[in-house]
């Protein structure tokens, strides 16, 4: 499992490790890993390190020192390395000395455009302007350099984190360096895994520098294939449909029958033994999926289920939502159900509850603008989970799953922009609801469902448009891929 830690936790771990190491040893570890990554990039973009042109954008903090020491290593391998100092009086002294001794140079004075001209001719630009303690976007003098790097043909490598993004939250408040590769040290930082900051990080490479990080202090968790494989429900020899779990789907309306069909499609591929459908779209559901158990007598009389999904395409059917919330089994609330659910009824539930809003729905529940949720996804999902006493899956370019009682937030590592299509969320609600019925906890059902859904979206699209029904059809392939079958 990939984890991410807050700036405070990283700083504490750095201090603890530095107290046990010779002075400067930790920075040298970071610089060695950074230089190795840059050498690989140069081999790809310039054909070799020797004779390539490298520009270092150097701020006043330790990130600037990392960049200078890495630049010195590249200079010793024959690269032409030039450092642009944004704070000459506060640049890392040891790093500057090492760079000059290795044959690198420092851009001194000259016309205002000289640094931008250096960037325009570079093969690689190393962003060491601001470290993990920075926030609020780039300062005025750094903005033109970030723009020049974005316009250039150079590969841009960020030191630890793209300068200008908020390491702890993923917020972006102003000019930011856009990297092709971010080389981060010791652990991932939350901003590298959460949009909008993630968009600026490019590919992320983790360099292990030996930080003593306490597992319980992680801010984020990102499941990987082996983690998901361990959580997938697999029937035993004595299993029947009830032992595997039965999921109830209360969805659809005369206006939106397709939402019911798509939620059932996701549920049938989610690992439960059977799907019971309740709602006005029974004919459409049974025509597409004859194995579905269809009832028109409401959730209370539908028969035994181990979990409910309520809300996709439900229109204004508040009575059905209320009946489902009163059930003493896990419940997933999506789409119209989020609008119709009584907040006090959600908080009063004793069985697990999983809410799955997109940014617009989350904004309505929080009473803020959509843009505020999208700018602060981590804060928003935590606030929703705390306010409703429920596990919350916030859908979007970065899907996050927050527990009701706090702890690490799960961030989904799969997906594709092609999943931004009508009905995709209905498939996810059915899939995650089926995992709930199969016995997974709310946080596991949400994060495993998002993982499989994102992977299925990649398989369904493969670089071209795909519909929600294509995503549902690709779930078995995603399942097999995770299990290595």
Which residue numbers belong to the known binding site for AMP? Answer: 395-399, 425
Distances (CA, A) of 158 to 92, 131, 200, 364: 17, 10, 10, 36
Percent of the chain whose predicted confidence (pLDDT) is above 90: 90
**What pTM was estimated for this model as a whole?**
0.93
Q: Print the SS3 string covering 398-414.
A: CCEEECCCCCCEEECCC
Q: Count CB-CB contacts under 10 A for residue 418.
A: 19
Cβ(294)–Cβ(282) below 8 Å: yes
**Annotated binding residues, as ranges?**
62-66, 127, 131-137, 160, 163, 259, 313, 358, 395-399, 425-426
CATH class of 225-483: alpha beta
Average pLDDT, the chain: 95
For the residues 402-407, what does the mean pLDDT come to?
Answer: 95
Binding-site entries for (6S)-NADPHX: 62-66, 131-137, 160, 259, 313, 358, 426
Domain ranges of the chain: 2-222, 225-483
Determine the pLDDT at residue 113.
Answer: 60
Question: Tens of pLDDT along 211-250?
Answer: 999 988 999 999 999 999 999 998 887 777 878 899 999 9
CB 211 within 8 A of CB 17: yes
**DSSP conformation class of 191:** G
Q: What is the per-residue pLDDT across 19-30, written as a single tens digit (0 to 9) for each? A: 999 999 999 999
pLDDT over 50 at 43, yes or no: yes
Q: Which two tokens stand for residue 115?
A: 């640094």
Q: What is the pLDDT of residues 96-151, one digit of tens each?
A: 999 999 999 999 644 446 899 999 999 999 999 998 988 778 988 899 999 999 99
* Packed helices 93-101 and 62-76: angle between N→C axes, nearest 10 degrees: 10
Both tokens of 11, joined, read: 């700083």
| Binding-site residues for K(+) | 63, 127, 163
Rounded to whole angstroms, the Cα distance separating 185 from 208 reads 6
The position carrying tokens 């807050």 is 6
Question: How confident is the model over 182-186, as a mean pLDDT?
Answer: 98
User: Are 38 and 109 contacting, i.e. CB atoms less than 8 angstroms apart?
Assistant: no
Superfamily classification of domain 2-222 = YjeF N-terminal domain (3.40.50.10260)
| Helices and strands in the chain: count of H runs, count of E runs | 20, 18
Q: What is the pLDDT of residue 110?
A: 45
């Amino acid at each position: 499992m990939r984890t991410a830690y807050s700036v405070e936790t990283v700083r504490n771990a750095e201090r603890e490790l530095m107290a046990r190491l010779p002075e400067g040893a930790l920075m040298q570890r970071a610089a060695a890993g950074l230089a190795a990554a840059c050498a690989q990039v140069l081999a790809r973009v310039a054909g070799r390190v020797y004779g390539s042109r490298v520009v270092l954008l150097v701020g006043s903090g330790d990130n600037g020192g990392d960049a200078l020491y890495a630049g010195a290593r590249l200079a010793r391998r024959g690269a032409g390395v030039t450092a642009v100092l944004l704070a000459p009086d506060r640049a890392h002294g040891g790093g500057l000395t090492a760079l000059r001794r290795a044959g690198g140079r420092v851009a001194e004075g000259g016309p205002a455009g000289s640094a931008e001209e250096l960037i325009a001719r570079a093969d690689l630009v190393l962003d060491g302007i601001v470290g993990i303690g920075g926030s609020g976007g780039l300062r005025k003098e750094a903005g033109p350099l970030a723009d020049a790097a974005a316009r250039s043909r150079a590969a841009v490598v960020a030191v630890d984190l793209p300068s200008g993004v908020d390491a702890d939250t993923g917020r972006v408040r102003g000019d930011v360096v856009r990297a092709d590769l971010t080389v981060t040290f010791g652990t991932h930082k939350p901003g590298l895994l959460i949009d909008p900051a993630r968009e600026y990080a490019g590919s992320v490479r983790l360099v292990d520098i030996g930080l003593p990080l306490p597992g319980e202090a992680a801010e984020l968790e990102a499941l990987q294939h082996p983690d998901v494989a361990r959580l997938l429900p697999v029937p035993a020899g004595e299993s029947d449909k009830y032992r595997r779990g039965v999921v109830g789907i209360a969805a659809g309306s005369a206006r939106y029958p397709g939402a019911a069909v798509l939620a059932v499609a996701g549920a049938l591929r989610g690992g439960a033994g059977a799907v019971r459908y309740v709602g006005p779209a029974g004919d459409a559901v049974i025509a597409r999926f004859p194995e579905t158990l269809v009832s028109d007598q409401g959730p209370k009389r539908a028969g035994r289920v181990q979990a409910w999904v309520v809300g996709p395409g439900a229109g204004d059917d508040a009575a059905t939502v209320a009946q489902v919330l009163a059930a003493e089994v896990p419940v997933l609330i999506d789409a119209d159900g989020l609008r119709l659910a009584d907040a006090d009824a959600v908080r009063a539930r004793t069985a697990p509850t999983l809410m799955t809003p997109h940014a617009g729905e989350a904004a309505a529940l929080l009473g803020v603008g959509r843009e505020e949720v999208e700018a602060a996804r981590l804060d928003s999902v935590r606030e929703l989970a705390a306010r409703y006493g429920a596990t919350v899956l916030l859908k979007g370019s970065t899907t996050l799953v927050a527990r009701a009682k706090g702890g690490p937030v799960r961030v989904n590592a799969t997906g594709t922009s092609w999943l931004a299509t009508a009905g995709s969320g209905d498939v996810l609600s059915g899939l995650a609801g089926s995992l709930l019925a199969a016995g997974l906890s709310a946080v596991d059902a949400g994060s495993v469902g998002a993982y499989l859904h994102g992977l299925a979206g990649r398989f369904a699209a493969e670089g071209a448009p795909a519909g929600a029904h294509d995503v549902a059809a690709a779930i078995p392939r995603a399942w097999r891929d995770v299990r290595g079958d």
